[in-house]
Amino acid sequence: MRALLSRLERFRSVDRVGDPARAAAEAVLPNHGVRDALHGRWLGHPLHPAVVQFPLGAWLSATVLDLLPGTRREATTLLVAGTAAALPAAVTGTADFTTLSREQRRVAVVHALANTAALGLIASSIVARLRGRHATGRWLSLAGVGVAGGSAMLGGHLSFSQDAGANHSAAALPLVPEGWHDLGPAAAYPPGALEARMLGETPVLVHREDDRFSVLIGRCAHRSGPLVDGTQVEIDGDACVQCPWHGSVYRLRDGRAMRGPASSDQTILRTRIRNDRLEAARP
């Protein structure tokens, strides 16, 4: 399975579908605000993995009910509810698709095709059940759940092996050694300054606003871009930093993601002033 998935990641022929599909997804969801909402920026967490639980859970529950006598109507109701819940899952997945790398898109294309096949099988099962062909309906939904389960595994591969949707700034946090670390004299940071520093092997970004300091991990939460090379911008009167790679914007005082494609907030460190020197530590 591992070898198969690695081959899929390198299978360039899928780009003939993946590249136009990405362009189509960007055309359908042209508004960055809408895309950010679908990524889950407002939630501070990727939305797609959360909403896919509803169709999968409903379809799986229906197949369990199929094993019990006198539950035909309940099983059909669950299949219909799960099919309706597949729409938000598909829309959030389409938004996430626009942010993926080529290798991730190859896996995502197969994931989307498998989901479409599963949806077709479940829809056919509902039709068969409504026509009174319950045995056929049961087999069709069982096949649909099987395909959906395989597809969910591809989704898991995207998240866990290919890091799609992961918070890369949180992943960098354990590299900061435990305890408080000296970041130099507080007076060396002029108000409004945005300075890059190193904490051990981890780049950090220091911002000073009046007498308040914030220290952010210097790798972007989206895909580990060099936030230390980011541009300072202002959104709604708040000082923010914009990642040079894909344009995610984070509020400097608390790391909040103000613009996607990042759906997670940027990880920040605790700060304190001791003997007129700025110190930072893991939260």
Binding site for ligand FES (CB under 6 A): 220, 222-223, 225, 243, 245-248, 261-262
**What does DSSP assign to residue 99?**
T
Cβ closest to ligand FES, residue 53 vs residue 232? 232
Cβ closest to ligand FES, residue 144 vs residue 261? 261
CB of 249 to ligand FES, least distance (A): 9
Q: Is residue 52 within 8 Å of residue 96, measured between CB atoms?
A: no
Which residue's structure tokens are 């087999």?
A: 139
List the one residue out of 57, 117, 106 whose CA is nearest residue 85. 57
CB of 163 to ligand FES, least distance (A): 11
CB of 246 to ligand FES, least distance (A): 3
Coil, strand or helix: which one is 115? helix
Q: Is residue 224 within 8 Å of residue 217, measured between CB atoms?
A: no
Cβ closest to ligand FES, residue 40 vs residue 225? 225
Cβ closest to ligand FES, residue 8 vs residue 166? 166
Cα 281 from chain centre: 27
Q: Which residue is nearest to ligand FES (CB)?
A: 225
CB of 70 to ligand FES, least distance (A): 53
Q: How do strand 212-217 and strand 268-274 relate by DSSP bridges?
A: antiparallel
Cβ closest to ligand FES, residue 150 vs residue 247? 247
CB of 89 to ligand FES, least distance (A): 23
CA distance 93 to 108: 9
